[in-house]
Amino acid sequence: MAISLSHFPITLALLLAFGSIVAEAANGTVTYDFNITWVRANPDLAFERPTIGINGQWPLPIMYAEVGDQVIVNVDNQLGNQTTSLHFHGLFQNGTTAMDGPSQVSQCGIPPGSKMTYNFTITQPGTYWYHSHDKGQYPDGLRAPLIISDPDFPYKDQVDEEFVLSVSDWYHDQMQTLIPQFINKANPTGAEPVPQAALLNDTQNLTVAVQPGKTYLFRMVNIGAFAGQYIWFEGHNMTIVEVDGVYTDGAEADRIYLGAAQRCSVMITTKNETTANYAFVASMDTTLFDVIPDDLNWNSTGWLVYDSNKPNPDPTILEDDQFNEFDDFTLIPVDKFPLLPEPDQTVTLDVVMDVLGNGKPYAFFGDISYTAQKVPTLYTVMSTGQDAMNPLVYGDYSHPFVLEKDQVVEIVVNNHDGDADSGKHPFHLHGHNFQAIARSGEEAGDFDNTNSSQTDYPAVPMRRDTFVLYPDGYIVLRFKADNPGVWLFHCHIEWHVDQGLIATMVEAPLEIQKTQTIPQDHIDICKAGGIPYAGNAAANTVNLLDLSGANQAPKPLPAGFTARGIVAMTFSCIAALLGLATISWYGLADMGAASKLEEERRIARMNGESEGVVSENSGSEINTKVG
Ligand SMILES: *[C@@H]1O[C@H](CO)[C@@H](O)[C@H](O)[C@H]1NC(C)=O
Ligand SMILES: *[C@@H]1O[C@H](CO)[C@@H](O)[C@H](O)[C@H]1NC(C)=O
Ligand SMILES: *[C@@H]1O[C@H](CO)[C@@H](O)[C@H](O)[C@H]1NC(C)=O
Ligand SMILES: *[C@@H]1O[C@H](CO)[C@@H](O)[C@H](O)[C@H]1NC(C)=O
Ligand SMILES: *[C@@H]1O[C@H](CO)[C@@H](O)[C@H](O)[C@H]1NC(C)=O
Ligand SMILES: *[C@@H]1O[C@H](CO)[C@@H](O)[C@H](O)[C@H]1NC(C)=O
Ligand SMILES: *[C@@H]1O[C@H](CO)[C@@H](O)[C@H](O)[C@H]1NC(C)=O
Ligand SMILES: *[C@@H]1O[C@H](CO)[C@@H](O)[C@H](O)[C@H]1NC(C)=O
Ligand SMILES: *[C@@H]1O[C@H](CO)[C@@H](O)[C@H](O)[C@H]1NC(C)=O
Ligand SMILES: *[C@@H]1O[C@H](CO)[C@@H](O)[C@H](O)[C@H]1NC(C)=O
Ligand SMILES: *[C@@H]1O[C@H](CO)[C@@H](O)[C@H](O)[C@H]1NC(C)=O
Ligand SMILES: [Cu+2]
């Protein structure tokens, strides 16, 4: 990492003396040179594994900038065997949608040996993170916090010092191994791989030296792949002051929940005496796991150390009912931005988990499982003229919604994920934060908008960019389409991204054409990777409404076979083959070659055809399915 010298002293001074100096507006340039390579890491001291590092290091550097800065990130992909890309989670990329990061959406994946530059202006303060947005890659280590400091932070007079604190789940296997085992005929129920450990700041047993009688700001970020985490500090309450970059009126909580990708900044005031040290805990939400392995410790402990000569006590074992449930829906933004008016366009998305005709488990909005297209969606916008307003050109399986400039858009998500034990989903929108105007509890059924009116919603709704949907319930979100760009809406559980739980918002495409350009180095990486960068989703540049050859999800189950039936059949077949009593992902290796072949034949017979469309493109879901 190299930070340009002109800017470094300002950032450093701010970090060291947060809140105690008056800084002038920065308007500097912050440059990061990121050489992305494989390194080895063992953060839970249980297993050393290849991990994706930057400039030979892991944990990765935290990115810092200030509101008004120009940020330049020069990425050099030296992984050798995988493409990559970087997404700056939560940044609106207003006017720079090409810098948003998801591969096959706003860029081509950066091939090994290639370089690409991200260049954008910082307009938002707060707590963010950056991560790979390519082929389910970030849980291999390519994720870290991104902090935007703000001379006008509303609580600056109350804060003495600040800490960044990441929480994460951690896997011992690599994603390229886990994804094909997960999206596999041997796993028809779609049981997600269970992580091996929970990490606090990419380690465990973290000690944080604190002084008595001071107020600390903890910027907490869940950079994990899957698990939501409960976080609490023994003997200390938290005052929430920011979620996902949105400052909130101070709200007291004794425990918070951070879904994957969510952020929360809290103020903690230390005690006046140094007679004891206090444990704090990040505890993975085990209701997401289909099985809890016997040897899994789903808690990670740290300590507020008042006196390093005193012992660090074990955390007290607590039950859920010993906490006051804090509901982020009740937060109020400091800016008091009012409820948006009735929507001009409503997008209703039903979350469904099901097997397709190839016997493998997928995730759907309605009946569409997102499938990456041949041409990145943004490049289709740029090369289709007036037809860019026609959703057809983006391919059905990118699940596109074309939004008109400045429309008020409402997204309703109903949770039909049948598995009552695993139905929580943290939904994330790129390019915006949204007003969270309704969220039901569990088992509420679908949202009924036939009789809703503005008065049913908070006058000043909470805003954030990632919001948790509960099992068999709904969420209702609103935003104004005032940021021309191509923005994904997806669940932030990386397994569900891999399974296709994604829709694409194509916002004001004609405006993008008029006001934005694609830098030459972005086009060059497409050329290097042999990826088409013009035309409709099927790379047809002549007949833009001819989508033949566009990538599709595997075919559905043949008529006459219900998903439940095939799951039961596949299940009993596998159970018989492997002698398993219950299907569980944990410890279940891929099937042996012989049984695999038999299984494939059997499903092919049911389909009355050979294997699905997926293999047509590349022979692997990893390349075709994952956005
Ligand atoms: C990037 O890292 C690789 C592996 O450590 C090294 O061989 C290469 O020289 C580095 N490149 C740059 C530009 O630092
Ligand atoms: C400098 O940054 C401030 C925000 O800190 C912004 O309001 C202003 O427009 C920026 N000026 C330029 C020239 O970019
Ligand atoms: C890529 O390289 C890493 C580091 O050498 C290795 O562990 C991994 O298995 C490779 N992955 C693939 C898909 O080849
Ligand atoms: C970044 O973008 C700005 C604004 O478009 C431009 O002036 C600048 O030259 C770019 N810098 C790099 C390194 O690409
Ligand atoms: C977490 O790690 C970062 C980067 O090393 C460090 O700046 C920060 O202070 C750590 N947080 C805590 C609570 O120790
Ligand atoms: C943290 O402490 C536990 C309990 O002593 C130990 O099992 C674990 O290996 C430690 N982890 C790290 C990373 O130090
Ligand atoms: C935390 O807040 C609760 C509820 O307001 C209060 O009962 C408790 O005493 C507080 N604990 C501390 C350590 O301040
Ligand atoms: C700590 O001391 C300060 C200053 O004397 C006082 O205002 C505050 O109430 C004390 N805090 C606690 C928790 O006793
Ligand atoms: C994790 O912490 C919770 C809350 O204290 C406790 O109920 C649970 O037993 C702990 N789990 C393990 C494996 O220690
Ligand atoms: C609107 O629907 C809800 C849920 O079905 C129902 O409880 C409520 O009475 C309805 N309100 C009106 C005004 O019809
Ligand atoms: C994007 O910038 C435009 C023009 O400055 C502004 O009107 C709009 O509110 C911005 N949108 C977002 C999401 O920041
Ligand atoms: Cu999900």
Q: How remote is the CA of residue 129 from the centroid of ligand 11, in Å? A: 21
- Structure confidence by residue, pLDDT tens digits, 132-160: 999 999 999 999 999 999 999 999 999 99
Q: How remote is the CA of residue 511 from the centroid of ligand 11, in Å? A: 13
Q: Which of 183-192, 219-228, 293-302, 618-627 has the lowest mean pLDDT?
A: 618-627
Tell me the three state secondary structure of residue 578: helix
Nearest CA to ligand 4 atom 13: 72
Q: Which of 288-297, 484-493, 591-600 has the lowest mean pLDDT?
A: 591-600
Please indicate whether residue 453, judged by its CB atom, sits closer than 6 Å to ligand 10: no
Q: What is the average per-residue pLDDT within 63-74?
A: 97
d(CA 474, CA 412): 7
State whether the Cα torsion 24-25-28-34 is positive or negative. Answer: positive
Nearest CA to ligand 1 atom 1: 35
Q: Which of 6-15, 37-46, 206-215, 525-534 has the lowest mean pLDDT?
A: 6-15
What pLDDT sits at residue 431?
Answer: 98
Q: Considering only CA atoms, which of 487, 547, 534, 570 is closest in space to residue 99?
A: 487
Please indicate whether residue 92, judged by its CB atom, sits closer than 6 Å to ligand 11: yes
What DSSP line would sit under 543-569, residue for residue? -TT--TT---PPP-PPTT--HHHHHHH
Task: Choose one of 119, 122, 516 to mutate for the ligand 4 pocket test, by most ligand atoms within 8 angstroms of C-beta.
Answer: 119
What pLDDT sits at residue 567?
Answer: 57
Q: How remote is the CA of residue 99 from the centroid of ligand 3, in Å? A: 27
Residue with the bigger pLDDT between 581 and 387: it is 387
pTM of the predicted model as reported, rounded to 2 decimal places: 0.89
Please indicate whether residue 213, judged by its CB atom, sits closer than 6 Å to ligand 8: yes
State which ligand 2 atom lies nearest to the alpha carbon of 70: 14
Distance of CA 394 to the CA centre of its chain: 23
Task: Choose one of 24, 27, 96, 152 to mutate for the ligand 2 pocket test, by most ligand atoms within 8 angstroms of C-beta.
Answer: 27
Please check the confidence at residue 606 and state whether its pLDDT lies above 60: no
Helix (H) / strand (E) containing 572:
helix 563-578
Instruction: Report the mean per-residue pLDDT for the chain.
Output: 89
Residues enclosing ligand 9, CB less than 6 A? 283, 297-299, 317-318
Find all residues with CB under 8 Å of 317, minimum gap 6, and list them: none
Residues with CB under 5 A from ligand 12 (ion): 425, 491, 493, 496
How sure is the predictor about 564, in pLDDT bands with cuts at 50, 70 and 90? low
Please check the confidence at residue 170 and state whether its pLDDT lies above 60: yes
Q: Considering only CA atoms, which of 334, 322, 148, 323 is closest in space to residue 251?
A: 334
Nearest CA to ligand 2 atom 2: 68
Please check the confidence at residue 530 and state whether its pLDDT lies above 90: yes
How sure is the predictor about 485, in pLDDT bands with cuts at 50, 70 and 90? very high
Task: Choose one of 34, 77, 78 to mutate for the ligand 1 pocket test, by most ligand atoms within 8 angstroms of C-beta.
Answer: 78
In this structure, what DSSP letter does residue 456 have?
G
